[in-house]
Every structure is written in C-alpha cells, then in structure tokens.
Amino acid sequence: MRAEGWSDSLRFRGWGRWLLRSELRRLASLPPEESRQRVALAQRQAADRVLRHLRVRLEVTGEQHLPTAPGLVVALHEGLADALCLAALPIPLRFVARREVFEWAGIGAALSGCQHIAIEPESTGAAYRQLRRDARAALAAGDHVVVFPQGCLLGIQTAFLPGAFHLARAFAVPILPVVVTGTHRIWEHPFSTRLRYGQSVTVQILPPVSAEETRHCDPDQLRLRLQQRMKRAALSPGCPAPRHYVPERDGDWPGFRFEIDADWRQT
C-alpha cells in the first residue's frame, strides 16, 4: 500500500501506517469475553480515527431508518473501505467476509478479535450452512449481520447472490439496505496498491424490508427488487461514481464466484 502524491505519501509514512497498525492491534487484542456493546464502540472509534486521518468526506443519509432490533444489513460492495464507513454507523455490526481475509496479516487478527464471520462463498452449500450457524449466534447476541450480496469487489455490474435473502427468510428478520459508493477510490485493492486521501463517500440508508415481508416474500424476487433499488440509488445524481467492472482491465477471475446482473447484460 502506498499513498498517491508526495504530500500524502509523507503523511502516510509519518503517521498513517502507524495508525492503521495500532488500530488493528487494538481490535485484535479485545478479550473474547468483551461485551458486544464495547466491541461495537471499539470498532466505531477505530473507523472514525482512520477515516479522519484519510480525510474521507463521508455523507450519511437516511439515519432515521437505522433499526433497533437486530437483523441483516445488505450493502453494496466496491472496496475494503466499505467496512470502515459502515462501522462508523451507531449500531453493533458483525461483518461477513471471505475466509482468506482472516488470513491477512493484521486485518485477519482484528476480524477474529471482533468475532466477525468467515465464509468460503465458492463452497456454496457448506458456506450457507456455516453462515446460518454464525449469523444465528450474532443475531442472538444483538448484532446486525452485514452481508455484501455481490460477494466481490468487482463493481456495480455484479449481481446479488441469493444467500442473504434466504437467510433473512429463515430467521424472519428485517433487511436494512445500505448503498455505499466512492470507497473504491480510497483503496482499490486488489487492482491497485494506491491509497488516496480526501475522497468523497456516500452511505445511503434506505427504508428497511420488514421481517413480515422477508418471511412471506419469495427470496429471489426480493433479491432482484433490492438489487434494482440499491443500484438505482448508487447511480443517483450527487453520489460519487461507483466502481464499474471492465473485464478487459480487471480480468475474468476464473474459479471466483460472481455473476453479472442481467439488467447490465441487456444494456
């Protein structure tokens, strides 16, 4: 990771790298018996410090839709900084992430310390069963489980996968749709090592889908409806442009589970 521009490179080398490592160590060292409220507070504080250092211009709308009872948070995914911006929200969150991320130096230990949920999306049936077990425990502890239904960082064209919507129906919990755009400009891993300061990010919290609706609505119909609604919000005027998947630039990712949204294939 390296910062773009000489002044931000100095800023990152002089303070940013130490700050990131310090916050990750702090989260990794949380005791297993720590209350979920204190874990949530530690995550919000760490996110706030890093976002302020990076001078991220974060605009959050729709805070009146934030829930009190635990449920699923379904969010668009375009960069690793998504988690930072979501963690700044004043609700306890448990993120679902690829197991390989739990093996990364620094980041993996912090994810484990906060008891986030590891899955292997390509192991479809086994991944869903594991997600169901871990999500049940997280919801019982009062956390909101964050799922990125696109399952990858490739861009807005990628389709939602069905797991989150079957999960919401199985547990009869509400879904909170959250549209995050602009984070790929901060750190476009794995496509670039470049870190950018001073980027704009919008977090749009859309009206929730009630537990009653998730219980009775066909999961695939709900998936398609939220996919259209959330992507339309991501493309609305005034939002930072979302990341777009360009196969010639980004590659085909053989063996990696993702699909292209049918609405994009028709354009």
Q: What is the pLDDT of residues 67-76, one digit of tens each?
A: 989 999 999 9
Residue 101, SS3 per DSSP: helix
pLDDT reported for residue 253: 78
Alpha-carbon distance 71 to 135, whole Å?
A: 10
Of the pLDDT bands very low, low, confident and very high (cuts 50, 70, 90), residue 214 is: very high
How much is the average pLDDT of 218-223? 95
pLDDT tens-digit readout, 145-204: 999 999 888 999 999 999 899 999 999 999 999 999 999 999 988 888 889 999 999 999
- Give the per-residue SS3 of 57-97: EEEEECHHHCCCCCCEEEECCCCCHHHHHHHCCCCCEEEEE
Among residues of the chain, what percentage have pLDDT more than 70? 99
Q: What's the CATH code, domain 2-245? A: 3.40.1130
Domain limits, the chain: 2-245
Question: Would you say residue 207 has pLDDT above 90?
Answer: yes
How much is the average pLDDT of 35-63? 95
pTM (2 d.p.) = 0.93
Alpha-carbon distance 152 to 140, whole Å?
A: 27
Question: b/e per residue, 212-236, with b = 16+ CB within 10 A?
Answer: eebeebebeebbbebbeebbebbee
pLDDT tens-digit readout, 1-34: 888 888 999 999 999 999 999 999 999 999 988 9
Q: Which residue has 């998936």 as its token pair?
A: 223
Measuring CA to CA, which residue among 211, 242, 78 is closest to residue 139? 211
Of the pLDDT bands very low, low, confident and very high (cuts 50, 70, 90), residue 77 is: very high
CB atoms within 10 A of CB 190: 9
pLDDT reported for residue 267: 46
Reading phi first (left if > 0) and then psi (alpha if -120 to 50, else beta), residue 5 is in: left
Is the Cα torsion angle 53, 32, 124, 226 positive or negative in sign? negative
pLDDT reported for residue 172: 94
pLDDT tens-digit readout, 106-127: 999 999 999 999 988 777 777 7
CB atoms within 10 A of CB 198: 13
